[in-house]
Amino acid sequence: MEKIKSLQDLEAFRNSIAEKRKVGKPCIAICSGAGCLALGARGIINATIKEIERQKLKAKVDIKTTGCPGFCEQGPLVIIYPQNILYTHVKVKDVAEIISKTVINGEIVDRLLYTDPTTGEKFIHESEIPFYKKQRRLLLGNNSNIDPNNIEDYLALGGYSALAKALFEMTPEQVTEEVKRSGLRGRGGGGFPAGRKWESCHNAPGEPKYVIANCDEGDPGAFMDRALTEGNPHSVLEGLIIAAYAIGSHEGYIYVRNEYPVAVENATIAIKQAEKLGFLGKDILGSGFDFTVRINRGGGAFVCGESTALMASLEGKIGEPRAKYIHTVERGLWDKPSNLNNVETLANVPLIINKGADWFNGIGTEGSKGTKIFSLVGKVNNTGLVEVPMGITLREVIYDVGGGIKDGKKFKGVQTGGPSGGVIPESMLDIPVDFDELTKAGSMMGSGAMIVMDEDTCMVDTAKYFLTFLEEESCGKCVPCREGIKRMRQILDDITEGKGKEKDIELLERISATLKDTALCALGTTAANPVLSTLRYFKDEYEAHIKQKRCPAGVCKALIQYYIIDEKCVGCRLCEKACPVEAITFMGKKKPVILDQSKCIKCGICKDVCKLGAVGVK
């Protein structure tokens, strides 16, 4: 491949790809996103390659490994093109049949189709499935069409045309103006207007300037940035190059967390391919603009997602934040003007440049434009990644897209915003997905984790979970955060162990206020949100723990007991074998077993293994 040196070259190259692909071979696209890999996609890929060779079809059928379309619960996922047939829960033994029936003869293998769990209806195409219907997949939509390691796939779908448009038809100021007018706000958590940040960095004195893509995604329970960087790395890269052009930067970084090895690999390959074709490097597309990018891996520290900590770690130092009376757009990396954007923010940029600010700001609400990707997880039927227009209500996301609560249980709350956010109760499910509305509700948009909780989730335990997380992740630089979070966690420990006192709630509130006012970075100032929001909406649960020494959800170990429901137990002995401490005694066939409370360590394995629901918890 030769470097592309002009607009004409780019169009000629794009046409040559289209020409090559006109033949329209059938294609088997196998999702190799992290979720599907965890469910065995690697085996499917190998089996497909083997089977294609065995049936001597190599010249007639294409195999493609793609990024994550979001429907992880149903994986491994396979899509057959050109008919667009979606198969779910595919196993290695299904591969031969898929090839001979569907690929060769166009017949559909009924049992592999997605079946709606409530209606029993079967669906052939992705777009008809309720999970996808209310979504608006501007960013994720291409994940199942693209092999992330093949830049031609991205180009075939119009990739890098926004970059060409920016370089040849727009001045840097016009690009920034367009992004400003689009209303795009940062997707990394803070929601800062992207165009305004670019402008400040552009205007800040000092050279060189740096642009950085934040793929640290430390929020536990979120994997949007992972799916974008793994599944469509060129869209992020294109956004970053356009940002660099607008700002006047010639050096950029992508900061990827080390826990995402595939994202590191795919982004590295994408950069190499883009360099080879002349989308990166000197004189990009013959426009005279130079820009290079390198990848840095994180070291497993949540705080490194924070802008100043991230930049410190890019300098090879420990990831401690610093006070921000001087903004990073003025003095960031190596004390130079630096612009940091989240991966999802950047992936929106090519769309805005191509389709225009007016198109983009036509989607969403007054203050929040475009779409937002959420990782919809926890106790919901359709877990996975969902991309919805801003303004959709939480209820629609959880019930229409997510298919409601798992196992017919009762909804209790939805946690958004990660460790900086809060839990939103049933009564507020009709608020729209919007930066400002979520903040008003005591939570926040955050990076996009949406964790659904049912009646079996304990809210005190949830608050304790986040504080334990933050205690571990606090960098320890400032006292309120280092000591305050620890103290709050200890109080919650006491409450969950039945040692809570009535004054504890007041004390929690006081420490929360101190944290908010005095911590150095946003990790500390927002750390109390999970506690404050659960106190606001679920105070009765705290009180049950403190006053009645009872955990209504049956979670907090010190306050619960497992017991055998005699009427349901048939004496099958599964639990007896599974119990690690021999607390369960077999009493004879058809008789219930006996659970010895003095030996029980409350590991809950008996409840897990019982097929009859004969183990209860109170």
Ligand X SMILES: Cc1cc2nc3c(=O)[nH]c(=O)nc-3n(C[C@H](O)[C@H](O)[C@H](O)COP(=O)(O)O)c2cc1C
Q: Would you tell me which residues interact with ligand SF4 (CB under 6 A)?
A: 303, 321, 474-478, 481-482, 519-521, 523-524
* Residue found by looking up tokens 């994720």 in the block: 140
Which tokens in the block code for residue 330?
Answer: 């003025």
Residue selected from 32, 48, 145, 457 as contacting another protein according to rule CB under 8 A = 457
Contact between 123 and ligand X by CB under 6 A: the answer reads no
Judged by beta carbon, residue 30 or residue 475, the one nearer ligand SF4 is 475
We find the least distance from the C-beta atom of residue 295 to another protein, in angstroms, to be 9
We find the least distance from the C-beta atom of residue 516 to ligand SF4, in angstroms, to be 11
Residue selected from 338, 345, 382, 529 as contacting ligand X according to rule CB under 6 A = 345
Which tokens in the block code for residue 256?
Answer: 């990827």
Contact between 186 and ligand X by CB under 6 A: the answer reads yes
Determine phi and psi for 29, rounding to 5 degrees.
Answer: -105, 120
* 8-state DSSP, 101: I
Of 266-274, 317-325, 392-400, 494-502, the window that binds another protein (rule: CB under 8 A) is: 317-325
Contact between 35 and another protein by CB under 8 A: the answer reads yes
Query: Would you say 200 and 461 are in contact if contact means Cβ atoms under 8 Å apart?
Result: no
With CB cut-offs between 5 and 8 Å by kind, which of ligand SF4, ligand X, another protein, none does residue 422 bind? none
Judged by beta carbon, residue 122 or residue 482, the one nearer ligand SF4 is 482
We find the least distance from the C-beta atom of residue 225 to another protein, in angstroms, to be 9
How far apart are alpha carbons 566 and 587 in whole angstroms?
A: 12
Contact between 72 and another protein by CB under 8 A: the answer reads yes
383: nearest Cα among 73, 613, 598: 73
With CB cut-offs between 5 and 8 Å by kind, which of ligand X, another protein, ligand SF4, none does residue 190 bind? ligand X
Which tokens in the block code for residue 410?
Answer: 């009762």
Interaction residues for ligand X, span 357-386 (CB under 6 A): none
How far apart are alpha carbons 256 and 268 in whole angstroms?
A: 11
We find the least distance from the C-beta atom of residue 438 to ligand SF4, in angstroms, to be 22
Contact between 417 and another protein by CB under 8 A: the answer reads no
Which tokens in the block code for residue 266?
Answer: 């795919």
Judged by beta carbon, residue 184 or residue 605, the one nearer ligand X is 184
> What three-state secondary structure class fits 617?
strand
What string of DSSP letters covers 352-416? Answer: HHHH-HHHHTTSB-SS-BSEEEEEEEESBSS-EEEEEETT-BHHIIIIIIS-SBGGG--EEEEEE
| Sign, Cα dihedral of 443, 447, 452, 453 | negative
How far apart are alpha carbons 227 and 238 in whole angstroms?
A: 16
> What three-state secondary structure class fits 78?
strand
How far apart are alpha carbons 221 and 121 in whole angstroms?
A: 30
Query: Would you say 156 and 143 are in contact if contact means Cβ atoms under 8 Å apart?
Result: no
How far apart are alpha carbons 275 and 334 in whole angstroms?
A: 25
Residue nearest to ligand SF4 (CB): 524
Which tokens in the block code for residue 4?
Answer: 């592309």
Residue selected from 65, 66, 462, 533 as contacting another protein according to rule CB under 8 A = 462
Interaction residues for another protein, span 579-598 (CB under 8 A): 580
Judged by beta carbon, residue 182 or residue 415, the one nearer another protein is 415
How far apart are alpha carbons 16 and 11 in whole angstroms?
A: 9
We find the least distance from the C-beta atom of residue 350 to ligand X, in angstroms, to be 15
Contact between 422 and another protein by CB under 8 A: the answer reads no
Element of type H or E holding 564: strand 562-564
Judged by beta carbon, residue 14 or residue 372, the one nearer ligand X is 372
With CB cut-offs between 5 and 8 Å by kind, which of another protein, ligand SF4, ligand X, none does residue 307 bind? ligand X
Contact between 261 and another protein by CB under 8 A: the answer reads yes
**Cα-based torsion angle of the residue sequence 592, 596, 599, 605 in order, rounded to the nearest 10 degrees:** 30
Cis status, amide bond into 130, omega within 30 of 0: no
Judged by beta carbon, residue 149 or residue 296, the one nearer ligand X is 296
We find the least distance from the C-beta atom of residue 518 to ligand SF4, in angstroms, to be 9
With CB cut-offs between 5 and 8 Å by kind, which of another protein, ligand SF4, ligand X, none does residue 520 bind? ligand SF4
Query: Would you say 249 and 333 are in contact if contact means Cβ atoms under 8 Å apart?
Result: no
CB atoms within 10 A of CB 403: 20
Residue selected from 350, 384, 442, 448 as contacting another protein according to rule CB under 8 A = 384
We find the least distance from the C-beta atom of residue 284 to ligand SF4, in angstroms, to be 38
Contact between 534 and ligand X by CB under 6 A: the answer reads no
Starting at the edge strand found earlier in the chain, the sheet holding 27-31 runs 62-66, 27-31, 78-81, 85-87
Report strand pairing: 594-595 vs 584-585.
Answer: antiparallel
Judged by beta carbon, residue 196 or residue 550, the one nearer ligand X is 196
We find the least distance from the C-beta atom of residue 150 to ligand X, in angstroms, to be 27
> What three-state secondary structure class fits 255?
strand
Residue selected from 315, 366, 506, 509 as contacting another protein according to rule CB under 8 A = 315
Cis status, amide bond into 69, omega within 30 of 0: no
Contact between 461 and ligand X by CB under 6 A: the answer reads no
x/- string (CB under 6 A) for ligand X, residues 307-336?
x-----------------------------
222: nearest Cα among 412, 34, 76, 427: 34
Contact between 67 and another protein by CB under 8 A: the answer reads no
Residue selected from 26, 130, 190, 221 as contacting ligand X according to rule CB under 6 A = 190
Contact between 254 and ligand X by CB under 6 A: the answer reads no
Query: Would you say 344 and 139 are in contact if contact means Cβ atoms under 8 Å apart?
Result: yes
We find the least distance from the C-beta atom of residue 148 to another protein, in angstroms, to be 15
Residue selected from 175, 380, 521, 527 as contacting ligand X according to rule CB under 6 A = 521
With CB cut-offs between 5 and 8 Å by kind, which of another protein, ligand SF4, ligand X, none does residue 342 bind? ligand X
Cis status, amide bond into 76, omega within 30 of 0: yes
| Distance, CA of 357 to chain centre | 26
With CB cut-offs between 5 and 8 Å by kind, which of ligand X, ligand SF4, another protein, none does residue 186 bind? ligand X
179: nearest Cα among 432, 356, 366: 356
Interaction residues for another protein, span 514-553 (CB under 8 A): none
Q: Which amino acid is at 68?
A: C
How far apart are alpha carbons 358 and 369 in whole angstroms?
A: 11
With CB cut-offs between 5 and 8 Å by kind, which of another protein, ligand SF4, ligand X, none does residue 299 bind? another protein
Using CB under 8 A, list all residues that contact another protein: 34-35, 37-39, 72-73, 217-223, 226, 258-261, 296-302, 313-319, 375, 377-379, 383-385, 415, 418, 449, 451, 453, 457, 462, 465-466, 469, 472-473, 475, 578, 580, 603-605, 608-609
Using CB under 6 A, list all residues that contact ligand X: 186-190, 192, 194, 214, 216-218, 302-303, 305-307, 340-342, 345, 447, 521-523
